[in-house]
Amino acid sequence: MKLILENNVFANIHADIAVRMVDSSMLEALEERALLERFGFKGKSEESCLLLERGLLFCGVEDFSNDALRQAATTAIRTLWKLQTPRVKFEGFGLERIAALVEGVVLGGYRFERYKSEKSECAIREVVFASTSHEGVLEPYDAMKSRFEAARIVAEATNYTRDLVNATPEEIYPEALAQAARDLAERNDLTCTVLDEAALDAEKMMAMLAVGRASCHQPRLIHLAYTPQNPTKVITLVGKGLTYDSGGLSLKPAASMVTMKMDKAGACAVLGILKAVSELGLPIEVHGFIGVAENMVDANSYKPDDVLRARSGKSIEVRNTDAEGRLVLADVLDYAQSQVQADYLFDYATLTGACVVALGPYTSGVMGHSESLKAAALQAADQSGELVGVLPFNRHLKKLIKSEIADVCNVSSKPYGGAITAGLFLDHFIREEMKQKWLHFDIAGPAYTESAWDCNSYGATGAGVRLTLALLQQL
């Protein structure tokens, strides 16, 4: 499916199907009003009506915001997926809206069918967008084209992330994800360094090594970097990459183990962000540090009651081996801070079920000490179409991860505020000079879905990619 921005008004673009987006207030003025009413079309969100003989597809919108247009474009591409409509055209809605339309088509048209014997083929060959305003007036083409191409790059990077997350743990294990990073580095002119088990041991990353030691696939630490000349900022991204999480000796219930391939979503988001940053040619230096491990069970498993010594020198009392992601991140965060002096440090992890309880399955939790940075993340969420809620740190919750025998405990002593106490655990490994430059994103809710919503189909959503690219451009 090829995306084209045509320097032409909508009416003059040739296509097999024309997609029109309308709200309820526009129905009365439409020439097709009687037909639409007969089919019960009322112009509501996620509603569509195909008039095939007239070559028209009407999609309802609540308003003409980015979110509504992204949803409508998703509805359109899914409606037309199997129809013999080689060329489809969309109305233009101006510079501020073209990205939402492109994302709706690219993200809404995503399907993961790698493991199916028979794959569904999209009959659409070209999707054409008019380079016009909402009023149908031609916009400056160069500016429109720049927004169009940037949106395509971001959407395709999100789908790249989805592919990695959706891959099974049999296919993507620590070394395999490291190889995916090497392949990306080769394609996109990035630098890539991978630390194996011996190198991790030399770095005294004992918390991360403990998590991975029961697996036949040994842990890896990936450092991927995009380093343009004269960067305006230096950004460090850290991703949790549990290619599979059984819970370890604190074994998950059987039902909870299904979909645990998604526990690498933070790591995959970092790869997707670096893919997009390099293709956009942003004038910022970006380093991605990814801790990759499998949390499995055997005679060598780490145990509740173990005390682990992290790379920073701090000791960690283990009370639950299913709180493993924060142990991996503790070492990777410390390593990242020792390697790069960054202006900002962001980490991404499917860290806690408590975040899903707090914010629901569609919203990422953001935590940190800087109010201005958290406000910037909320603004970036509005721009990107991702949903983010702030979870506040406080000194009383911090007491819940106090250990009587070590510097910190890996889980709270009470079953409340679990997403925040996990963030406060990570805060133990953020150096003082980085406290005001750090944000923690818990993407456990939106990273994976078993029912379609917005532009997300079953499976991985690529949570964090669009959000972070909006944030980076804002900063």
pLDDT digits (tens, 9 = 90+) for 327-359: 999 999 999 999 999 999 999 999 999 999 999
With contact defined as beta carbons under 8 Å apart, do 307 and 315 qualify?
Answer: yes
Candidate list 70, 275, 326, 374, residue with the active-site label: 326
Q: What is the mean pLDDT of residues 279-304?
A: 98
The pTM score is 0.97
- Cα 346 to Cα 142, 160, 290, 349, distances in angstroms: 33, 20, 12, 10
Beta pairing class for 126-130 and 87-90: parallel
For residue 241, the SS3 value is: strand
Tokens 């639409």, residue located: 36
pLDDT digits (tens, 9 = 90+) for 420-457: 999 999 999 999 999 999 999 999 999 999 999 999 99
Active site residue 326: yes
Residue 354: which H helix or E strand, with range? helix 353-359
The band of 120, judged by pLDDT with boundaries at 50, 70 and 90, is confident
Active site residue 147: no
Structure tokens at 231: 């960067």
pLDDT digits (tens, 9 = 90+) for 47-90: 999 999 999 999 999 999 999 999 999 999 999 998 989 999 99
The band of 226, judged by pLDDT with boundaries at 50, 70 and 90, is very high
With contact defined as beta carbons under 8 Å apart, do 421 and 442 qualify?
Answer: no
So what's the pLDDT on residue 91?
93
pLDDT digits (tens, 9 = 90+) for 401-426: 999 999 999 999 999 999 999 999 99
So what's the pLDDT on residue 297?
98
With contact defined as beta carbons under 8 Å apart, do 59 and 72 qualify?
Answer: yes
So what's the pLDDT on residue 121?
86
Beta pairing class for 285-295 and 234-245: parallel
d(CA 409, CA 261): 26
d(CA 300, CA 197): 15
So what's the pLDDT on residue 433?
98
Tokens 């183990």, residue located: 257
Name the residue among 302, 166, 310 with its Cα closest to residue 246: 302
Note the CATH architecture for domain 2-139: 3-Layer(aba) Sandwich (3.40)
- DSSP letter string over 36-60? HHHTT----TT-EEEEGGGTEEEEE
So what's the pLDDT on residue 82?
85
So what's the pLDDT on residue 84?
85
**325 burial level (CB within 10 Å; 0-12, 13-18, 19+):** buried
- Cα 360 to Cα 137, 389, 442, 468, distances in angstroms: 41, 10, 12, 20
The CATH 3.40.220.10 portion of the chain extends over 2-139
- Cα 429 to Cα 18, 193, 316, distances in angstroms: 54, 22, 11
The DSSP code for 8 is S
Candidate list 111, 145, 204, 252, residue with the active-site label: 252
pLDDT digits (tens, 9 = 90+) for 146-179: 999 999 999 999 999 999 999 999 999 999 999 9
Determine the topology of domain 156-474 in CATH: Aminopeptidase (3.40.630)
Q: What is the mean pLDDT of the chain?
A: 97
- pLDDT for residue 30 is more than 90: yes
Beta-carbon contacts of residue 137 (< 8 Å; ≥ 6 apart): none
Write phi, then psi, for 189 (nearest 5 degrees): 55, 50
- pLDDT for residue 384 is more than 90: yes
The CATH 3.40.630.10 portion of the chain extends over 156-474
Phi-psi region of 360 (alpha: psi -120 to 50; beta: other; left: phi over 0): left
